[in-house]
Amino acid sequence: MNKNLPKWVDLGLIPLLTLALAFAVSGLVVLSIGQDPIEVVTVMVNGALCNPATNSSCFSGIGHTLYFTTNFIFTGLAVAVAFHARLFNIGGEGQAGIAGVGVALVMLSYDWPHWSIALVVGTLAAMAFGAAWAAIPAYLQAKRGSHIVITTIMFNLIATAIIGYLLVGPMQAEGSLPESPSFPDAAALPTMHDMFGWFGLAFDKNAPANISFVLAIIAAVGVWVLIWKTRLGYEMRAFGHSEKAAVYAGISPLKITMIAMLLSGALSGLMAVNTVQGEAERLLLGSVEGAGFIGIAVALMGRSHPVGVVLAAFLFGILTQGGAELQFALGIPAEMITVIQALIIMFTGSLENLVRIPLEKVFIRAGKGATS
Amino acid sequence: MMDFLSNDLLQLSDSAVRNAIPLLLACLAGLYSERAGIFDIGLEGKMLVAAFAAGAFSAIAGMPVADGGWDMGAWSVWIGLGAAIIASTMFSMIHAFASITLRGNQLISGVAINFFAAGITVLIGQYWFRMGGQTPQLREGQRFEPITLPFAESLKDVPVIGEIYHQLISGHNIIVYMGFVIVALTWWVLYRTRFGLRMRAVGENPGAVDTAGISVVKLRYSALIITGILCGLAGAYLSLGTAAAGFGKDMTAGRGFIALAALIFAKWKPISAMGATLLFGMLEAIGNKYQTVDLGFIVLPGQFMQALPYILTVVILAGFVGKAIPPKAGGEPYVKER
């Protein structure tokens, strides 16, 4: 936020310009590996948005894109909520991973009779485990002053070790693969194919997108209400703007740090409902697949606003699914997406002033011209 | 007991040193940056891009001209090292530009650099070599060979001292020895030179340094150039100085983060950094050698050894065992008062 700039520049023009820069540099990278950027974009967009139910040349498409979008909405919201309290939670990866363990534990502990009950239980478990994994870094930040970025990085790595241990030890299914037993069939969540079927509509039968997408939208609305319509949200934003002023106003840093991080962890954790419960229906090694980190890019691009987060998550869904198509159609490694993601984080995050400073100069000059 | 000493312990210590070197170099790299007041969580990415540049350029330099190489024989490995240092320093300068000149968020810049390195190394590697992101296997002249120190062979049979000298101290490649020299050099620069004093000051109180008429920007850029060079050495060691003999996708495997952990563990001090990275190197060596560690009263899984450096770092950060206090101005862009 900046008082020198009109709101439309701050929230509209700057994100668009930085995004355009990120894509322009991505285009240069594509050129440098001897590919045609136009062809790359065409393959990605077609591959990510087509619908196999109506288009025979399409193999996965929108059903996969929405599946990834669901993950990124959760992790993006998680980073955004923490950002509002000026906390940088880069532990989404570990929180989602541990939440997966929680989901697997409750799914395997009881023969859940119906998916609706399983959804509620799975959601609660994911949130609880995700929040728990964020709780220690949060407490250490608030009480002992340990830097939350470093502790959450450490907790990501510790989580990897724990999950690795569980999947070749106590939670391993029979056989030699590092995975848990499959969850009971009755607990399987409805896929988008099933959901469209309720209304007599066709949708890709093989798509992994499931009812968690609805959960993600509900979470986005919930975050919007929390941040802008409640006292707690106001306190979080106040704390984020100025810790000193917030403390003076009687806001407890411990309380805000804990609540913001627990919420953030719970939101990251919800991702496990989509991946572990909805798609894999068992716990696999590396089920988070970097979505926790993509949440950082999503939150930055979406300006930590739920609407922005949902849109940015959809863009990253397209990029992820389109990236898979790139490998298939043009033989470009899927790492292309990692590069684009990095450039988006760079230009909308750390290099934002590249655009902002010149714009400010222009507007200050224009402003002076108008008043004099 | 003698057997244990001469075999297991010596072998473990030897691997500990090998494991520690990339951590040590990256840790010292981070030390320069953070002591100058710039957070650097992009050590991992810089190491990775350096490892790739080293592997790729050493391979190309050593190839016959007919295959599109430069046929440089034994010079290849040095071309590789140079490329690693240049690549890593370029990345460090992106971080410097974002953090110092544009006063952007240093943590976000670090995250972006890590991802950029993870992606671009595979993209370019695949485009150049078509080996799924790997670089070609390096042959003699394209990698750093072990150096046998003077008298190592003749002293081999002297009990204890001779064995330690032969197996543990002798027989490493040049980067290993450079690593230890750089520890001493860093200590000297940091505590005995004007540059070191100013660098430490700029990490604690840039305003005071500025008031004294010294350029904060110049100091911080200089520190980040050193960070780039040291990360270059660390990355080059991975592809040119280990059994890998070439670059493999994501070959740093979190070492940049362990180095960051070691830096905190060592409380941003060079000699302690050596101790911390040797300790973490030893933990890695034990984890690699034994599936489980039986302490008599409890059996620890291998993954525990893998996680131990991170757990120790959290404990240290929490201040339960000696508080780690980072440089005061770390992470804050310096804005000159007007």
* pLDDT tens digits, B177-191: 999 999 999 999 999
- Residues in B touching A339 (Cβ below 8 Å): 115-116, 119-120, 123
Q: Which of A157, A179, A159 is nearest to A168 (CA)?
A: A179
pLDDT at B287: 80
Q: Is B330 inside a domain boundary? A: no
Answer whether B116 sits within 8 Å of A339, measured CB to CB: yes
The answer on pLDDT for B323 being more than 70 is no
- Residues in A touching B122 (Cβ below 8 Å): 333, 335, 338
* Mean pLDDT, rounded, of chain B: 89
Between residues B156 and A320, the one the model is more confident about? A320
Domain boundaries, chain A: 35-46+60-371
pLDDT at A372: 45
Q: Which of B49, B93, B130, B303 to mutate to test the interface with A (most CBs of A within 10 A)?
A: B303
The answer on pLDDT for B160 being more than 80 is no
The answer on pLDDT for A28 being more than 70 is yes
The one-letter amino acid code at A102 reads: G
- Residues in A touching B41 (Cβ below 8 Å): 149-150, 153
**How large is the C-alpha radius of gyration of chain B?**
21
Chain B: give the shortest CA distance to residue A151, in Å.
6
Q: Tell the CATH topology of A35-46+60-371.
A: ABC transporter involved in vitamin B12 uptake, BtuC (1.10.3470)
Number of neighbouring beta carbons within 10 Å of residue B275: 16
**Any CB–CB contact under 8 A between B10 and chain A?**
no
- Residues in A touching B127 (Cβ below 8 Å): 33-34
The answer on pLDDT for B57 being more than 90 is yes
pLDDT at B337: 66
CATH number of domain containing B256: 1.10.3470
Q: Is B333 inside a domain boundary? A: no
Query: For the ranges A18-27, A107-116, A295-304, B298-307, which has the lowest average pLDDT?
Result: B298-307
**pLDDT tens digits, residue range A151-182?**
998 999 999 999 999 998 888 888 888 889 88
Q: Which domain holds residue B302?
A: 2-317
Q: Which are the contacts of A302, defined by CB distance < 8 A and separation ≥ 6?
A: A76, A80, A308, A309, A310, A311, A312, A313
Give CA torsion, residues A259, A262, A263, A264, to 10 deg: 120
Answer whether B102 sits within 8 Å of A350, measured CB to CB: yes
Between residues A51 and A257, the one the model is more confident about? A257
The answer on pLDDT for B6 being more than 80 is no
Number of neighbouring beta carbons within 10 Å of residue A285: 14
Between residues B157 and A61, the one the model is more confident about? A61
Q: Report the number of distinct structural domains present in chain B.
A: 1
User: What SS3 class is residue A251?
Assistant: coil
Answer whether A145 sits within 8 Å of B112, measured CB to CB: no
Chain B: give the shortest CA distance to residue A203, in Å.
33
pLDDT at A24: 95
Contact B87, B52 (CB under 8 A): yes
Answer whether A150 sits within 8 Å of B260, measured CB to CB: yes
- Residues in B touching A319 (Cβ below 8 Å): none
- Residues in B touching A340 (Cβ below 8 Å): 119
**pLDDT tens digits, residue range A177-210?**
888 988 988 888 999 889 988 998 888 888 899 9
- Residues in A touching B326 (Cβ below 8 Å): 147
Q: Is B323 inside a domain boundary? A: no
Scan for tokens 């849109």, then name that residue: A311
Q: Which of B282, B194, B226 is nearest to B88 (CA)?
A: B226
Q: How many CA atoms within 13 Å lie on the side-chain side of B52?
A: 25
Q: Is B336 inside a domain boundary? A: no
**pLDDT tens digits, residue range A91-109?**
999 999 999 999 999 999 9
Residue A133's pLDDT band (cuts 50, 70, 90): very high
pLDDT at B1: 47
pLDDT at A288: 86
Answer whether A90 sits within 8 Å of B116, measured CB to CB: no
Task: Quote the percentage of chain B above a pLDDT of 90.
Answer: 55
Chain B: give the shortest CA distance to residue A254, in Å.
15
pLDDT at A1: 44
Q: Which of B98, B106, B61, B101 is nearest to B79 (CA)?
A: B61
Chain B: give the shortest CA distance to residue A284, in Å.
17
Q: Is B270 inside a domain boundary? A: yes
Answer whether B254 sits within 8 Å of A157, measured CB to CB: yes
Q: Residues A10-34: what's their mean pLDDT?
A: 90
pLDDT at B296: 74
Residue B3's pLDDT band (cuts 50, 70, 90): low
pLDDT at B306: 81
pLDDT at A100: 96
What's the complex ipTM? 0.90
Phi-psi category of residue A21: left, alpha or beta, with phi > 0 → left and psi -120 to 50 → alpha: alpha
Q: Residues B205-220: what's their mean pLDDT?
A: 93
Q: Is B83 inside a domain boundary? A: yes
The answer on pLDDT for B4 being more than 60 is no
For the entire predicted model, the pTM comes to 0.90
Q: Could you give the CA distance from residue B33 to residue B96 in angstroms, rounded to a whole number? A: 10
The answer on pLDDT for A255 being more than 70 is yes
Task: Quote the percentage of chain A above a pLDDT of 70.
Answer: 98
Answer whether A349 sits within 8 Å of B112, measured CB to CB: yes
Percent of chain A as helix, strand, coil, to the nearest 5? 75, 0, 25
The one-letter amino acid code at A207 reads: A
pLDDT at B68: 81
Between residues B2 and B137, the one the model is more confident about? B137
The answer on pLDDT for B5 being more than 80 is no
**pLDDT tens digits, residue range A66-82?**
999 999 999 999 999 99
**pLDDT tens digits, residue range A221-253?**
999 999 999 999 999 999 998 888 998 988 999
**pLDDT tens digits, residue range A268-280?**
999 999 999 999 8
Scan for tokens 């993006």, then name that residue: A76
pLDDT at B2: 52
Buried b (16+ CB within 10 A) or exposed e, B116-150: bbbbbbbbbbbeebeeebbbbebeeebbbeeeeee
Using H for helix, E for strand and C for coil, what is the string for chain B? CHHHHHHHHHHHHHHHHHHHHHHHHHHHHHHHHHHCCCCCCCHHHHHHHHHHHHHHHHHHHHCCHHHCCCCCHHHHHHHHHHHHHHHHHHHHHHHHHHHHHCCCCHHHHHHHHHHHHHHHHHHHHHHHHCCCCCCCCCCCCCCCCCECCCCHHHHCCCCCHHHHHHHHHCCECHHHHHHHHHHHHHHHHHHHCHHHHHHHHHHHCHHHHHHCCCCHHHHHHHHHHHHHHHHHHHHHHHHHCCCCCCCCCCCCCCHHHHHHHHHHHCCCCHHHHHHHHHHHHHHHHHHHHCCEEECCCCEEEHHHHHHHHHHHHHHHHCCCCCCCCCCCCCCCCCCCCC
The answer on pLDDT for B119 being more than 60 is yes
Q: Is B77 inside a domain boundary? A: yes
